[in-house]
């Protein structure tokens, strides 16, 4: 977790909770220094006020000045030491605004640093920070953002729209590839009364194995050697994850081989529109992801799909609607924090997930990368050979 996110987490806790947190966890040196300096600011507000009180006679004569400094704070101050509830702090962080309290704490933290050059330690494109969030809490946070049994924005509407585009019919055997949760597959199965197979990586398969039921199958997918079967499915679906899959060309060829005649593979993925990899926002997003994405351009994607015997029927840039879905779901979460607050473990998970999605949306808003929907169909021997 970055220093700023760690500081925001501390600001959601009382001084007593911070002390307990410090005694229960072994923290990196930098986080320890941040915690100690912040603890001073919240337990001894006179440290901040002392500098202003030094010339006593003059300060007494200019009382309106401190009142003016407090004027910008419109975010529900809860105590005399300028504590602001976490929901308000999270909203400010998500929208990229800074509360006056954050500036005070940042100044105090900066003054306590042993070296003024520490700011320049991180290079422009660094590995993703080590996760400090508990995996169980990450699952809870994702369910709270996207809805129970979903891991991506839009709930069941996105997968059902993809099925509509693919002209899915009752009884078609469908597969949902790397969905993250069972919600999309269940929506397909119930809406179209069709058997659905959900493919999960080995690390997730145990979590969903108990969901096996008639017409709803769970299968393991080895990303290094994917096997979907041969001529098994009428419809394949996949959402915004192929850019994280290693050996994507091989993956696409195996997916194509699993389609029956007339079968369709509909998927969304993040695609490079221009020289995206040089864009700072795109670099920041790639760094924020646990697995760094590999981005194809549209011509590269078309070439690899053709090699996999998949004909591209249509493509659509759905970035605008995707951003709208993401921001709506996060806005709903922020509102829920007012009445359903999180413990420190939940705050860790929320900040980690928020950092990732904030970076992804910022990259999409540059227009250098886009979420593109591909509608592809299996090319038969006859279509490959051309008209007779």
**Chain segment 242-269, per-residue pLDDT in tens:** 999 999 999 999 999 999 999 999 999 9
Residues 93/354, Cβ–Cβ less than 8 Å: yes
Per-residue model confidence as pLDDT tens digits over 85-111 = 777 778 777 877 766 555 555 555 455
pLDDT value, residue 29: 73
pLDDT for 41 equals 63
Give me the percent of the chain exceeding a pLDDT of 70: 71
pLDDT of residue 70: 40
Q: What is the pLDDT of residue 50?
A: 45
CATH 3.40.50.150 residue window(s) in the chain: 135-385
Question: Which residue would you say has higher pLDDT here, 387 or 285?
Answer: 285
d(CA 236, CA 225): 18
When pLDDT is cut at 50, 70 and 90, the band that residue 71 belongs to is: very low
Q: Measure the CA–CA gap between 194 and 168, rounded to whole angstroms.
A: 9
Angle at 242 between CA 202 and CA 317, to 5 degrees: 150
What are residue 137's phi and psi, to 5 degrees?
A: -70, -35
Q: How many angstroms separate the first and last alpha carbons of the chain?
A: 62
Q: What is the pLDDT of residue 49?
A: 44
pLDDT per residue as tens digits for the range 214-240: 667 899 999 999 999 999 999 999 999
Helix axes 344-365, 3-10, angle to 10 degrees: 140
Task: Quote the pLDDT of residue 73.
Answer: 40
Three-state secondary structure call for residue 262: strand
Q: Please tell me whether residue 58 adopts helix, strand or coil conformation.
A: helix
Residues 6+ apart with CB under 8 A from 133: 1, 345, 348, 349, 351, 352, 353
Which pLDDT score is estimated for 93? Answer: 78
Q: Which residue has the tokens 């970055």?
A: 2
Tokens found for residue 282:
């795109």
pLDDT tens figures, 173-198: 999 999 999 999 999 999 999 899 99
Report pLDDT for 16: 72
Residue-averaged pLDDT of the chain: 80
Q: Phi/psi of residue 43, each to 5°?
A: -95, -20
Reading the block at residue 88, the tokens are: 């308000």
**pTM of full prediction above 0.85:** no
pLDDT range class, residue 42, cuts 50, 70, 90? low
pLDDT of residue 48: 43
Q: Which pLDDT score, from 0 to 100, does residue 127 have? A: 52
Q: Decide: 268 and 291 in contact? Cβ < 8 Å.
A: no
What token pair was written down for 366? 């540059």
CATH for 135-385 is 3.40.50.150
Distance from C-alpha of 8 to C-alpha of 179, rounded to nearest angstrom: 31
DSSP 28: -
Q: Are 193 and 256 in contact (CB under 8 A)?
A: no
86 close to 347: Cβ distance less than 8 angstroms: yes
């Amino acid at each position: 977790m970055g220093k700023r996110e760690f500081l925001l987490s501390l600001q959601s806790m009382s001084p007593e909770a911070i002390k307990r947190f410090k005694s229960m966890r072994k923290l990196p040196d930098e986080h320890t220094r941040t915690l100690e300096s912040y603890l001073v600011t919240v337990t001894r507000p006179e440290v901040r006020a002392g500098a202003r009180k030094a010339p006593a006679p003059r300060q007494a004569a200019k009382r309106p000045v401190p009142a003016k400094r407090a004027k910008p704070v419109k975010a529900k101050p809860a105590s005399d030491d300028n504590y602001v509830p976490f929901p308000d702090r999270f909203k400010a962080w998500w929208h990229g605004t800074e509360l006056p309290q954050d500036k005070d704490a940042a100044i105090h933290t900066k003054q306590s640093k042993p070296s003024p050059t520490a700011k320049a330690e991180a290079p422009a494109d660094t590995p993703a920070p080590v996760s400090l969030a508990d995996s169980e809490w990450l699952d809870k946070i994702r369910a709270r953002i996207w809805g129970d049994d979903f891991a991506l924005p839009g709930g069941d509407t996105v997968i059902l729209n993809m099925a509509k585009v693919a002209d899915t019919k009752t009884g078609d055997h469908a597969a949902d590839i790397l969905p993250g949760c069972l919600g999309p597959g269940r929506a397909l199965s119930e809406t179209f009364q069709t058997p659905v197979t959900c493919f999960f990586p080995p690390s997730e398969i145990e979590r969903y194995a108990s969901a096996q039921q008639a017409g709803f199958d769970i299968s393991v997918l080895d990303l290094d050697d994917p096997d979907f079967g041969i001529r098994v499915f009428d419809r394949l679906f996949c959402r915004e994850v192929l850019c994280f899959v290693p050996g994507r060309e091989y993956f696409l060829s195996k997916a194509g081989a699993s389609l029956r005649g007339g079968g369709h593979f509909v998927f969304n993925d993040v695609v490079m529109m221009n020289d995206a990899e040089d864009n700072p926002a795109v670099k920041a997003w790639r760094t924020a992801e646990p697995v760094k994405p590999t981005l194809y351009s549209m011509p590269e994607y078309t070439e690899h799909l053709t090699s996999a015997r998949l004909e591209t029927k249509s493509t659509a840039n759905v970035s605008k609607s995707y951003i709208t879905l993401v921001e709506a779901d996060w806005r709903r979460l922020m509102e829920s924090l007012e009445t359903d607050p999180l413990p420190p473990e939940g705050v860790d998970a929320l900040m980690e997930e928020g950092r990732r999605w904030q970076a992804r949306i910022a990259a999409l808003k540059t227009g250098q990368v886009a979420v593109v929907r591909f509608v592809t169909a299996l090319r038969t021997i006859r279509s490959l050979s051309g008209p007779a």
